[in-house]
């Protein structure tokens, strides 16, 4: 059983890696993939061996939480968390500014000793009221032999505070860094707040899809009375009434309809599902889908699929699972994140002793501050966010265009496609209804079927980008030739059986090509399963859609070149994000260790913990903002 579970409390790549490692270690879980950007875990588990409550308890033990209560609104929880984070950030800014004014002696309160003691109390208040979660999380992490960004923040602020407190009470009163303690917490909280706000922008597609789901329905009882009830009370077989402008509550079948245009039919806007702008005519026996809206007329329907079984629920689930999946490169980043924090700790220790060796005990303050800055500035957040944020935006952008991508691997492969094999009937063309097939041989070809909108434009665009397009048809040679020419396709094969499609895919792959196959029927499933990227038409059979990695919920075939272009842009964005995340650490860690001090000692040029925390926060935010540029892809 697969389930997407919201996760609370993640701050960096180490967090998601630790949760993923913990879940995968539990008996009964087949596989688990945790998305930092999606703030969720995609878990494949055996409910007979492990319960959601057991998972929650295990994850609580390492300092995080799973939202398993279906009655709890995840969006509400996240809004509450964001509000609390915002309040803590504002309070931290107030305390830090006041503490800095006192610590820098911009505000004089008695003698140096009393001034330092006031700065110490303000820093302690900041650490307790605003940064308490860093320390509680660190304790839980250490108990389980793990570490994350909170560990680095807790270590750096604790070291700076204890060193400053010792000097305030027993040593040199001029060597205190209470302002740095406060500002580290302030900048980290500010970064997380900005990051959360930016990450909300990457999840807009899911929110839009969920917003399509109605909350209530009008149920018709046995006496014909109509009353409004919550959507969760609807059962299969219930009779419902849907009025103009209301959302269809569940999937079902029309039993009666009427409108001022047609006495026995209503017209439903299905563009949010299919992308088709023209309202669909619905009569007795017609299927209707949850989330669609009658634009003219009203109808009564019998519920056939409810709750998680509706088409809209399946789409939401598919997008959620896709956004929670991981590209191959992310697996490498996750492994790196698990060892990153311990490595940073070692680098901080090396930095400390390097300064002591260079300058002796006279350089003790510099040794401590440089070590603290290394702990603060080296954060795996940017690396952890580099891949999932770009994937979330890319997959969400595709969903906005009625293209459902099953997982990150499919999105990554799309960019490599240089050969496309397409079925004809139902894929490139639409069969005409109400045809007397006994006379089909004598009818003009434009009357057996019609070319789909933008089909020719889509095929020509693919060809212009160097993608070799093949059309496979069971038709006679002259009919196949006609439709290939009509669609602008140079290569085609007639009189094809399913094995012919499979053989062509196999042949193209043997030539070293990355092959995409698009089809809509059972006869296409062999070729779909063999292709590098399989694409199904949403109006096709369930078998074809089950096999496919990409599903087009629209008849506009320009969605294919759009998806390939989006794949290229997304993967390019991932590598850009990773490049800058790694460059950030390569450049900033030596700066934090004090390398500039060796060349510019008089006057000294060095990076303080305060500015190190600011740079760290901004690096994470910049990765998310960079990923949001994918929303501009056309």
- Report the catalytic residues: 423
What element of type H or E holds 282?
strand 280-282
Q: Please check whether residue 50 is in contact with residue 422, taking contact to mean a CB–CB distance below 8 angstroms.
A: no
Strand order in the sheet with 29-35: 29-35, 40-45, 2-8, 65-66
Tokens of 18: 């630790």
- Chain centroid, CA 441 distance in Å: 51
Percent helix, strand and coil across the chain, each to the nearest 5: 55, 15, 25
Distance in angstroms (rounded) separating the CA atoms of residues 245 and 239? 19
Tokens of 344: 């940073």
Distance in angstroms (rounded) separating the CA atoms of residues 497 and 363? 80
What element of type H or E holds 515?
strand 515-519
Assign 535 to helix, strand or coil.
strand
**How far, CA to CA in Å, does 358 sit from each of 160, 192, 362, 597, 601?**
21, 37, 10, 12, 13
Please list, in sequence order, all residues whose beta carbon lies within 8 angstroms of the beta carbon of residue 444, skipping any fewer than 6 positions away.
Answer: none
Q: Please check whether residue 230 is in contact with residue 343, taking contact to mean a CB–CB distance below 8 angstroms.
A: no
Q: Please check whether residue 153 is in contact with residue 188, taking contact to mean a CB–CB distance below 8 angstroms.
A: yes
The per-residue DSSP string of 179-204 comes to HHHHHHHHHHHHHHHHHHHHHHHHTH
Please list, in sequence order, all residues whose beta carbon lies within 8 angstroms of the beta carbon of residue 432, skipping any fewer than 6 positions away.
Answer: 447, 448, 449, 450
Please list, in sequence order, all residues whose beta carbon lies within 8 angstroms of the beta carbon of residue 135, skipping any fewer than 6 positions away.
Answer: 127, 150, 154, 158
Q: Please check whether residue 191 is in contact with residue 620, taking contact to mean a CB–CB distance below 8 angstroms.
A: yes
Q: Please check whether residue 203 is in contact with residue 79, taking contact to mean a CB–CB distance below 8 angstroms.
A: no
Burial class (CB in 10 A: 0-12, 13-18, 19+), 21: middle
The per-residue DSSP string of 12-75 comes to SHHHHHHHHHHHHTSTTEEEEEEETTTTEEEEEE-TTT--HHHHHHHHHTTT-EE---TTS-HH
Nearest-CA neighbor of 530 among 544, 516, 511, 545? Answer: 516
């Amino acid at each position: 059983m697969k389930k997407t579970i919201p996760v609370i409390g993640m701050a960096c790549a180490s967090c998601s890696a630790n949760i993923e490692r913990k879940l995968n270690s539990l008996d009964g879980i087949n596989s688990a993939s945790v998305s930092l950007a999606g703030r969720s875990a995609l878990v494949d588990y055996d409910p007979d061996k492990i319960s959601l409550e057991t998972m929650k308890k295990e994850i609580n033990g390492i300092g995080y939480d799973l939202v398993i209560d279906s009655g709890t609104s995840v969006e509400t929880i996240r809004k509450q968390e964001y509000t609390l984070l915002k309040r803590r950030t504002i309070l931290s800014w107030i305390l830090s500014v006041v503490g800095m004014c006192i610590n820098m002696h911009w505000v004089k309160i008695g003698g140096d000793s009393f001034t330092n003691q006031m700065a110490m109390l303000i820093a302690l208040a900041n650490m307790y009221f605003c940064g308490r979660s860093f320390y509680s999380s660190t304790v839980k992490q250490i108990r389980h032999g793990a570490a994350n960004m909170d560990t680095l923040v807790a270590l750096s602020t604790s070291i700076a505070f204890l060193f400053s407190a010792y000097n305030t009470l027993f040593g040199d009163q001029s060597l205190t860094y209470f302002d740095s303690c406060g500002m580290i917490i302030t900048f980290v909280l500010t970064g997380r707040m900005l990051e959360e706000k930016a990450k909300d922008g990457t999840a807009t597609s899911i929110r839009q899809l969920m917003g399509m789901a109605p909350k209530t329905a009008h149920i018709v009882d046995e006496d014909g009375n109509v009353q409004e009830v919550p959507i969760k009370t609807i059962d299969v077989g219930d009779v419902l009434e849907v009025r103009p402008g209301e959302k269809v509550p569940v999937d079902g079948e029309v039993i009666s309809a009427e409108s001022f245009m047609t006495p026995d039919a209503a017209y439903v806007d299905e563009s949010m599902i299919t992308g088709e702008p023209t309202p669909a005519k619905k009569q007795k026996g017609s299927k209707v889908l949850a989330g669609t809206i009658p634009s003219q007329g009203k109808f009564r329907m019998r519920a056939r699929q409810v709750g998680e079984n509706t088409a809209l629920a399946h789409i939401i689930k598919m997008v959620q699972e896709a956004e929670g999946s991981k590209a191959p490169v992310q697996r490498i980043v996750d492994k790196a994140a698990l060892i990153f924090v311990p490595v940073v700790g070692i680098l901080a220790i090396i930095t400390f002793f390097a300064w002591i060796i260079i300058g002796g005990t006279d350089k003790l303050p510099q040794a401590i501050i440089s070590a603290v800055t290394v702990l603060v500035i080296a954060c795996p957040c940017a690396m952890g966010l580099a891949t999932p944020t770009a994937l979330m935006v890319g997959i969400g952008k595709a969903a906005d265009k009625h293209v459902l991508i099953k997982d990150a691997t499919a999105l990554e492969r799309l960019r490599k496609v240089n050969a496309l094999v397409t079925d004809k009937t139902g894929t490139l063309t639409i069969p005409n209804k109400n045809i007397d097939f006994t006379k089909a041989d004598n009818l003009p070809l434009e009357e057996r079927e019609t070319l789909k909108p933008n089909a020719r434009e889509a095929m020509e665009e693919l060809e212009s980008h160097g993608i070799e397009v093949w059309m496979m048809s069971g038709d006679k040679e002259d009919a196949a030739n006609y439709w290939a020419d009509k669609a602008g396709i140079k290569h085609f094969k007639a009189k094809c059986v399913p094995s012919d499609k499979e053989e062509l895919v196999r042949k193209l792959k043997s030539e070293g090509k990355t092959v995409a196959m698009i089809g809509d029927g059972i006869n296409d499933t062999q070729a779909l399963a063999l292709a590098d990227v399989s694409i199904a038409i949403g109006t096709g059979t369930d078998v074809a859609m089950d096999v496919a990695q990409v599903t087009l919920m629209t008849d506009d075939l320009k969605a294919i070149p759009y998806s390939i272009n989006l794949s290229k842009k997304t993967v390019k964005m991932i590598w850009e994000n990773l490049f800058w995340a790694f460059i950030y650490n390569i450049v900033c860690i030596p700066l934090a260790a004090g390398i500039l001090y060796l060349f510019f000692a008089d006057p000294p040029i060095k990076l303080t913990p305060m500015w190190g925390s600011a740079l760290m926060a901004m690096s994470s935010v910049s990765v998310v903002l960079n990923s949001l540029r994918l929303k501009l892809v056309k």
